[in-house]
Chain A
């Protein structure tokens, strides 16, 4: 009897599974779609004074001081203010942040963010500071130093976004502009700091502010921000300090590498350096396991010796000198030179526009993959592991530039409409009053078409990104 019940249940389960499978098969395949935003905008001419509205504090309105201290103070104030039973948790904040304006619980948000007034005031002051110097000891500590409370900048930036959203909703556009200015300044200061993580956070904060400008352009009688966006530095977020730290952050913990060309290391010293590099990369922290587990690998490293020696001879080192060096030192020197060459091969392309850098970065990426494959049977060059995914960094920078460029396009369209009796242009080429920017992700004009009284402006899905990295605005005039 029990066996029959079990059989019956098994048959039922199979039937359910089949039905479920058929139901799933019947569903249309879910493909991620391009991010599409509907915009209802007013025509807006160029302001009477073109540079009246700015998203950065003009020089003559700045004050002496270091904005970094005010940012840290603001973080402390947010943590302090967000206490008690009605503290906003991360999920709630994220939910509000990602809610469309029509479903935003306005009064709840208003009450919640009102408690952060002190922090907002400090951010406004920080936006007026003439410099931002992050005075933490990253030069001494390298990769072991993580900017404290970096995650709280996400909180701060989302609070700022919500504040701007409410101010735009309330028609307090001057105040909204000040809030956006605080956000843009924070993004620029944070992203210009000396670590790639910080840089990426800055880029994300700036992208958040760009999305709030989507709200601005839809506000009734919102002034045109074409020139405010055009005046911003390009790139908005400076990558140089962070790339320079990433270039040399390794040496803070492996300083022998800095003098490797001048000071020959013994085999024991090389082994010790490898051991520390392995520990930093996540091998057994105790060390003993590494010794036992890597002995075979070190023996395999000797396979690299002939090639390493040959490469050093090619570079002009005297044969007798190279042959006198300890074998592991020869391998280490070769590894370090390989690291430096590969690092510079990537990082030099952070200083040219993305469209010029893209194929070269891809090529460098392939070369590095090839090195990994070649190293497969010997000692993997550990130093290559410290390099970040430069191609991705450049893509995220370019995507932010695209977000700003496409907003400039929208403002150029609003300007055209104001100058042409409330009509949308038939093509972007019709806009002649101001330059219409191209898409920094491909250096081509944004796709534009006018269909049924609606303008469609689209930044294509970039080859290095997914569908959600594309951007489409459907614009109608009020």
Chain B
């Protein structure tokens, strides 16, 4: 049989029992939950690193053990080991003769000569400009700019 509220006595008994329940105080905090979740995640990652480190350590030890015995350091070989000079004409002609830039040789000599000349005779020893009067290009003007640009 059912009452007007549609509840059986058993239901009413259960309702009363449930109504008598008290909310229990929380035993875990949100922060605690989050911390535990993070730790669990990190633990998984640290295991990966621990495993990798172990493998690398094993490999390192293996390489150290299997390393060949070092040999005595090699002294850099001197360019030559001739004891006596060979100054025979044959040796002279065989000597390497890298090409020397003749212009630079002339410039070098010119410097030394000029240095001595200026020391002896002062500023008057300096040569004048090698420019021939009239050989210098005319100054750039608006008029000849177009001509210059079109010629390039």
Contact = CB atoms under 8 A, between A and B. Distances in A.
Interface in B90-147: 91-98, 100, 102, 104-105, 107-112, 114-116, 118-120, 122-124, 126-129, 131, 133-134, 136, 139
B111 A298 contact: no
B100 A269 contact: no
B107 to A, nearest CB: 4
B82 interface: yes
Nearest to B104: A144
B44 interface: no
A192 B89 CA distance: 48
A267 interface: yes
B142 to A, nearest CB: 17
Interface residues of A, number: 66
Given A143-B111, A150-B126, A268-B94, A279 B105 contact: yes
A87 B133 contact: yes
Contact of B136 (A79, A152, A269): A79
A83 B80 contact: no
Contact of B97 (A145, A153, A272): A272
B108 A388 contact: no
Interface in A283-333: 285, 287, 291, 295, 298-299, 302, 305, 323-328
Contacts of A299: 87
Given A83-B136, A295-B92, A388-B119, A267 B105 contact: no
Contact of A281 (B80, B94, B96, B109): B109
B116 A389 contact: yes
B84 interface: yes
Interface of B: 78-87, 89, 91-98, 100, 102, 104-105, 107-112, 114-116, 118-120, 122-124, 126-129, 131, 133-134, 136, 139
Contacts of A157: 123
Given A143-B108, A392-B119, A272 B82 contact: no
A83 B79 contact: no
Interface in A132-150: 141-146, 149-150
Contacts of B126: 150-151, 153-154, 201
Contact of A197 (B86, B94, B98, B118): B118
Given A80-B136, A146-B110, A200-B119, A324 B100 contact: no
B79 A265 contact: yes
A94 B123 CA distance: 12
A272 B131 contact: no
Contacts of A151: 126-129
A438 interface: no
B111 A144 contact: yes
A408 interface: no
A280 interface: yes
Given A267-B82, A279-B100, A298-B87, A146 B114 contact: yes
Nearest to A323: B83
A200 B111 CA distance: 13
Contacts of B131: 79
Contacts of B87: 267, 271, 295, 298-299, 302, 328
Given A253-B108, A268-B91, A328-B87, A285 B115 contact: no
A264 B129 contact: no
B115 A197 contact: yes
Contacts of B83: 323-324, 326-327
Contacts of B82: 266-267, 326
A478 interface: no
Contact of B129 (A145, A152, A200): A152
A282 interface: yes
A393 B119 CA distance: 7
Contacts of A328: 85, 87
21 contacts: A79-B131, A144-B105, A144-B107, A145-B111, A155-B128, A157-B123, A196-B115, A200-B119, A264-B79, A264-B80, A266-B79, A271-B95, A276-B100, A280-B105, A282-B109, A298-B87, A324-B83, A385-B112, A389-B116, A392-B119, A393-B119
Given A271-B92, A299-B87, A204 B104 contact: no
Contacts of A276: 100
A327 B85 contact: yes
A53 interface: no
A145 B115 contact: no
A386 to B, nearest CB: 7
A94 B83 CA distance: 62
A3 interface: no
Given A326-B80, A389-B116, A393-B119, A154 B98 contact: no
Contacts of B122: 200, 204
A152 B131 CA distance: 11
Contacts of A388: 115-116, 119
Interface in A55-105: 79-80, 82-84, 87, 90, 94
A115 to B, nearest CB: 13
B110 to A, nearest CB: 6
Contacts of B98: 272
A95 to B, nearest CB: 13
A101 B59 CA distance: 94
A240 B116 CA distance: 19
